[in-house]
Structure 1
Amino acid sequence: MKDAFISFYENHEDDYLKSIWNSPNTRFILDTNVLLSLYSFQKESREDFINILKFLNSRLWIPYHVALEFQRNRLKVIKNHRIYIQDMQKETDDFLDSISFDDKILHTFKNKFTSKTKHLNIYTKIEDIINNISSEIEDVKDLLKEEVGKIRDLITDIDQDKIYLTSKDYIREEFDYIFSGNSLGNNIFDTQAKLDEIFRNGENRYKNMTPPGYKDEKVKENEVFTFNGLTYKSKFGDLLIFKQIIEYSKDPNIKNIIFISEDVKEDWRIVENLNGKKILGARPELKQEIFIESSVDDFYIFDINNFLKYTTSFLNVGLNPSSVDDIKNSLSVNETYQDVEDFFTENSDINNILKKEIKNIIQNHPNLNLSFDPLLLKDLSDLNLKIENLNKLEIINLENIKLPNFPFFDKKYEEIKEYVIKCNAVIEHINNPSNKPKIEGFLELLQRLIRVVNLLIDIDTNAR
């Protein structure tokens, strides 16, 4: 059976992967999002990553359309990084400006004793205490200024290269060197007729949800751009990249493809939900297509973290542990943003103002370390409606759930989710006619659970 359905199998044993990593017939292909992600890495981490790319040398390749998308999106990514740096600097400055200790209440308390000369010893003692407190307050202010200064220094370290929209771009210069000659693919869709043909083919693929790229259809439906006399439809960008990979893989000397991409949508990867989202291997349809049309025997998709893990392990390439941590943290922000994009794609009826607000939060505050769960937000909203209906029927008198401003949850995420499930279960019992004799007990339990949910949301401070 395996021979007939080979695209459903994927060997992840270390010895097998090591043989692929070391094979001269393996090609490492980078997606656009990998190139752009380097702008969010700290300098040392970026240099480590670039050194790994240089080490792979002749086995490294990017499709023409990846390079085109990189050139088109580079300035937007730089702008967002500048916003990130400016936002952190502003937050530290605002924090410092907000530090104030109002000592009016101390002086008011002291002045109450000024006319009471028979309590002069008390007045003197109070004056000494207030002077001591005032002195300690000044010491605290100085300490805070010193610590905030250290934070500013850390922000400066993050922005060592100071890449601006009009400045020298060290990252692109490195890519110009790495992806020269045979490391950059040719544009196999070099006429409008060829492009239009792939677009027509893409329309049929997307109708049948044939990967890759169909998840971009709604998001980029009407987005077009022109380059070098050719008009492109953005929603077919992934399809163009995949077709260029297939054409490149027809070289009989290429037997294994490792595609490194931060795209974790289900039109590239197998995605399953089991105690959270699980991102697995490449879609079997993709593997089957490339196996049939090219000469490769293996097609893998790995994200940057796994690519680095296997490369450093199998090829004995050194990578600073701090670089690993920095890259993981940088990419976790990208993953959150991807989750946001996926949610909006699947819920196109959501208010556009809310979409814009949430996207701005992610872009302008990339240091947010929150759980993104729009479905929990929906559950909370549904719970509100159920409680409102019970109130209208005068079955119960409860306060509504206090919804967070946006679908992000901090340290109390799991507890909030657990109690929302409990509340819904109790409401099911209340609405069941056979439970009327026990209704008072269920109502009392629901009231307690609602108070707990309110409390958890109130103390989930970062989600406010």
Structure 2
Amino acid sequence: MKSLFPGHHYLTEDQFAKLWKESTFVFDTNILLKLYKYPRQLRETTLEIMEALKGRIWIPYQVAMEFHLHFRDQIYNQNDAYTNLKKTLSNNIDSIIKELENLSHSNIDVDPMIQTLNHSKNVIVDELENQESKQPDLNELTERISSIIGQNVGRPYEEKRLLEIYGDGESRYKDKIPPGYMDAKVKSDQVTIHDGLKYQNKYGDLVYWRQMLDHSKNEEVKSVILISDDTKEDWVLKVKGEKKGPHPELIYEFYRESSGKQFHLYNSKQFLKYANKYLFKKDSVDTGIDVAIKEIEALETFEQENNLQSTSRIERKAIKMPDFRILTWLITVNEKLSNEELENFYNVIDEYFMDTFGVGVEYRLQLKFNRPVRSSYIFKFPIPRDMVLSYDSLIADVENTLNYYFPSQNIEIRNLTEG
């Protein structure tokens, strides 16, 4: 029976070992771009594993195009981070010093405190400049990535083929056939012009999926492992909030199109973990890989905490901007949301406000708490005070929109806005 339903059964140890021995490895754009912002150990470990797979890596043209359109932004952001942090720290300390100087004619002796703050500012700036001088040349990182991939990049589709995929994608997305349908609304009007062609961004995942399917038909391709941190439900099967591997329909379609070959999907953390086991064949976790995995977990924790902290910044902004008010919603879902799913929630809501009112919203997760059966999230949105809203109809519309894109979540929204 397993042979008839390969998308719903886990692979055996022998099958995983064979998969790692013979597979072609495909890296999604999100993985390649994350290399620019990874901590040193995580970046180096990931690159070393990629180098060990050199010759077995192949990249769809769509992925390579997206990488080249965005890698310079990553370099700029990383290089600019030191300048921005030094400026922010200096301005904040100078602001405190100015407040202290205003007290110079009081009974408070401010001079020792001002000296301490100036000394601390100099120490921090020196340390930041020291760290900046030791950062790797990210242009060299680009060369290293290019060297690993080499010429193993797919060819671009002609305009006729792209239009065929877009037409097919419209019906696929309507029926929620993966991948890509989760991008339909979020990227509905986004286009990219490249090399004389217009690409519809909402079909980006479907285009590179088709390119993988085409490549899988080559005789030298035995099976494919995709490395991606895209955790939306049009890529990943989730049961009770837990990720259980690739969406079954992806496995079935790959199996049909490739005449019986296997497809598997790993996120970045799984890739490191199983490379240690199946590529390097180590019984215990390598120290470098263990550190790299912990760095990924730390990044995930930081992103979640950053979401929590940003709510207070939004509320402060609304206080300083009297033309804005805070719209507060309690959103209840069946299963705990990942960081990427939360971002998808934000994007869907933002698109709704843009389509309905012609204005986007700033938004962040304020609080998350788990109930015995379901999970609830409080979202806060600064919106223009003069925006005319009917809360009941607005909530009903947003509920319907979210449930369309997240059908397994049975989403309910309760308005907590004061006034």
- What TM-score does the superposition give when structure 2 sets the normalisation length? 0.68
User: Using a 3 Å threshold, how does the CA distance of structure 1 residues 65 and 138 change in structure 2: closer, same or farther?
Assistant: closer
Counterparts of 1:56 and 1:309, CA distance in 2: 15
Shift of 1:295: 3.7
- Counterpart residue number, 1:284: 248
User: Using a 3 Å threshold, how does the CA distance of structure 1 residues 139 and 218 change in structure 2: closer, same or farther?
Assistant: same
Counterparts of 2:130 and 2:8, CA distance in 1: 47
Counterparts of 2:251 and 2:71, CA distance in 1: 30
- Counterpart residue number, 1:397: none
Unaligned runs of 5+ in 2: 305-337, 370-374, 383-413
Q: Residues 371-400 of structure 1, C-alpha deviation per residue, up to 9 Å, x if partnerless?
A: 77996224999xxxxxxxxxxxxxxxxxxx
Letter in 1 for 2:352: D
Checking the alignment, whether the CA contact within 8 Å between 1:265 and 1:271 is kept in structure 2 is no
- Counterpart residue number, 2:346: 343
- Counterpart residue number, 1:42: 39
Checking the alignment, whether the CA contact within 8 Å between 1:215 and 1:345 is kept in structure 2 is no
The alignment partner of 1:173 has SS state of helix
Letter in 2 for 1:20: L
Which is strand-richer, 1 or 2? Answer: 2
Shift of 1:353: 9.1
Checking the alignment, whether the CA contact within 8 Å between 2:41 and 2:292 is kept in structure 1 is yes
- State how 1:137-286 maps to structure 2 within 5 Å: 137=113, 140-141=116-117, 144-145=120-121, 148-149=124-125, 152-153=128-129, 156=132, 160-161=135-136, 163=138, 169-181=139-151, 183-187=152-156, 189=157, 191-272=158-239, 274=240, 277-286=241-250
User: Using a 3 Å threshold, how does the CA distance of structure 1 residues 69 and 103 change in structure 2: closer, same or farther?
Assistant: closer
- What TM-score does the superposition give when structure 1 sets the normalisation length? 0.62
Letter in 2 for 1:311: A
**More deviation, 211-220/277-286:** 277-286
- Counterpart residue number, 1:73: 70
Counterparts of 2:114 and 2:59, CA distance in 1: 58
Q: Residues 144-202 of structure 1, C-alpha deviation per residue, up to 9 Å, x if partnerless?
A: 33653465257526x71365xxxxx2222122222223x21223x2x222111111111
- 1:308 paired with 2:272, answer yes
Checking the alignment, whether the CA contact within 8 Å between 1:202 and 1:236 is kept in structure 2 is yes
What root-mean-square deviation, in Å, do the aligned CA atoms of Structure 1 and Structure 2 show?
3.8
- Counterpart residue number, 2:318: none
Counterparts of 1:228 and 1:107, CA distance in 2: 67
Checking the alignment, whether the CA contact within 8 Å between 1:249 and 1:296 is kept in structure 2 is no
- Counterpart residue number, 1:393: none
Shift of 1:62: 0.9
Shift of 1:135: 7.2
The alignment partner of 1:59 has SS state of coil
- State how 1:11-30 maps to structure 2 within 5 Å: 11=11, 16-21=15-20, 23=21, 25-30=22-27
Q: Residues 203-254 of structure 1, C-alpha deviation per residue, up to 9 Å, x if partnerless?
A: 1101111110011111221222333333321111101111111111123443
- In the comparison of the two structures, how many residue pairs are matched? 340
- Counterpart residue number, 1:63: 60
Unaligned runs of 5+ in 1: 110-129, 164-168, 362-368, 382-423, 425-449, 451-464
Identity of matched residues, %:
27
Structure with max Cα Rg? 1
